[in-house]
A and B are shown apart, each in its own frame.
Chain A
Amino acid sequence: MTRLRILAAVVTLTIGCGLFPLAFETALAEQGRGGGGPPRVRTRKVVLAWADTRNGIAQHDSVSHALSVIERLGYESGAYDTFIRTDSNIAAMEPKRTTGEPASGGPSLKMADAIFFLGHRDVPIDEQQKSDLLKFVRDDGKGIVAAHVALTAFESWPEFGELLGGRYDGHPWNQAAGTIINEGSDFPATKHFPATFPFNDEFYQPKDFWRTKSRVLLRLDVSKMPPNAENHSKDGDLPLVWAKSYGKGRVFYSSFGHDAGVWDNRDIQQMYFEAIKWALGMTDGDATPRPLKPTQ
């Protein structure tokens, strides 16, 4: 190790054009991992970016860009390390191989601090995995940040709807321009938004959603949308972004992110980044539920 450090210090690269910003110290810090040596000492939180899209339409081309943006936000800020997975073997305290044998190391719910979830509909996970996922948030106090199509996930699993705080009930206006009302001007993930602002997206309409259980941070101003028979909101409430607790854990959902370009929007990036930090317990935000105030 000492020899290597000295070596690294004296290595002089023959390139003068700045193409070689090799981080020798960090490269050295990688030693001892994966090669059979002692595990790396991890200083960052771990986010599992989990998006099993094998059941269809959510293989939207935006999913990969979203995962990649989430990874970059953590990597460049130093706030967290990300493991991207589009399979579901990873969603377990003790992940298994496709053969059923134990996986050979790597990420698991045991070592993750939060999940960024872009999964979709029902994917086959077993009862143990379901129980592990609930335990991860409820008992271990870890976080989950879910985006857009995640609202359609696990329709056959009631407790998942409880955890997430709502269910998917279509997108009445498809991709459309809307006015967003900010109810979360004190919350880390939404305080950078103005009181109201225009936005284009495929706004999801939630059902099985309770203002007594979740704090709405952003909602769609339904009064400004064209009339639509698929809009099931009776009181004009259409939550798009909310925060809640589930047992000891923190849960955040946002409807934003249908088109890949949305993930390049700095405000949207900041929203998800701050949501992840909040879910990781790195910041605090008030998720106390509150009723709809029509004048808000």
Chain B
Amino acid sequence: MRRITPAVAALALLSLHVVVGAQVPAPRTFPKHVLAWADVRNGYQHESITHALSTIERLGWESGLYDTIIRTDSQSITKSPIQFKTGTGIATGEQFLARNLDYFDAIFFFGVREADLTPEQRADLLKFVRDDGKGFVATHAGATGFFSWPEFGEMLGGRFDEHPWEITNATVIVEDSASPMTRHLPKTFDVIDEHYQLKDFSRSKLHVLARLDASKLDLKAPLVHRTDGDFPVAWTKTYGKGRVFYSTLGHPRELWDTKWMQTMYFEALKWAMTK
């Protein structure tokens, strides 16, 4: 007669009903780290923002390429140590796990309008890309960010200039079928989104991956300002040593569930984090 030891009992339980195993598991580690930053306190929180952040997190988690810290505040936007004031808990004066920009390899940006950044934070954000050679991947409303800050527009490559057609179907023309970000897409395809008109961009400073087919757009819509018919949908560029990607696509929440869109942003992050 064999005695049932606690270990055997535990094993039996585990086989019947799987919960975390008997050993304390080591936390997963990831080669890269992404800050999914969407400070929405001063602008409209698009319905898709949470789903986009969470999709970006899942793509990194499931692929094992990167882990993600999601923030709708801007505390992490600094290269200085993040410390705590007296009275904020036992961590007083210590850093613990508060991650600043130095920890991250790229930012995924879905902010809206003006976030409350100090001049030091602004300088550090630019340094992060320009001098540290880190990546900046921005989506949709990201182009509405920081109109009061010219250098941000320089880094991103352009600015939001209304969405003259609201949410509509439009044809996208892929200009670069070799880029890992767009090579999975057909030469032209239709997509429903809140398509943006962009301004303050120059094709001499950035590489357009895809644009809207202007011949199929209502160019007489009241808010259409462009006269050259150039409506980029996605681009890449460099900013100092860093890599920047922006795409207008991302307003409909369900768009983040499509494999092609996930591939575009995942590849963009991968590219942006390549040193």
Contacts and interface: CB of A to CB of B under 8 A. Distances in A.
Interface in B47-91: 47, 50-51, 53-54, 57-58, 61, 67-73, 75, 84, 87-89, 91
Contacts of B27: 61, 259-261
Contacts of A68: 53-54, 57-58, 61, 68, 70
A32 B14 CA distance: 50
Contacts of A98: 41-42, 115-116
A55 B169 contact: no
Contacts of A40: 47
B20 A265 contact: yes
Contact of A11 (B21, B23, B67, B190): B190
B16 A194 contact: yes
A52 B255 CA distance: 28
A57 interface: yes
A75 B57 CA distance: 15
A19 B253 CA distance: 17
Contacts of B254: 22-23, 26-27, 30
Interface of A: 4, 7-8, 11, 13-15, 18-24, 26-28, 30-37, 40, 49, 52, 54-57, 59-61, 63-65, 67-68, 71-72, 75, 81-87, 89-90, 97-99, 103-107, 120-122, 152, 155-156, 175-177, 193-194, 196-201, 259-262, 265-267
A177 B20 CA distance: 9
B96 interface: yes
Contacts of A7: 169
Interface stretch (B119-127, B198-206, B228-236, B256-264): B256-264
Given A4-B168, A59-B69, A122 B89 contact: yes
A75 B259 CA distance: 17
A177 B22 contact: yes
Interface residues of B, number: 76
Contact of B23 (A36, A122, A177): A177
Contacts of A33: 47
Contact of A87 (B61, B72, B260): B72
A104 B23 CA distance: 49
B194 interface: yes
B88 A35 contact: no
B21 to A, nearest CB: 7
A57 B13 CA distance: 34
A93 to B, nearest CB: 16
Nearest to B33: A61
Given A34-B46, A197-B17, 17 more contacts: A8-B192, A18-B259, A19-B259, A21-B258, A30-B253, A33-B47, A49-B50, A52-B73, A61-B27, A61-B97, A64-B69, A83-B45, A85-B40, A87-B39, A106-B45, A201-B20, A267-B17
A84 B53 contact: yes
A18 B16 CA distance: 38
28 contacts: A8-B192, A13-B189, A13-B190, A30-B251, A31-B167, A35-B194, A57-B89, A57-B97, A59-B96, A61-B27, A61-B67, A64-B57, A68-B57, A68-B68, A68-B70, A75-B54, A90-B72, A99-B116, A104-B42, A122-B88, A155-B89, A194-B13, A197-B13, A197-B17, A200-B21, A200-B23, A260-B27, A262-B20
Interface string B19-43: 1111111011000000010011111
Contacts of B51: 71, 75
Nearest to A15: B186
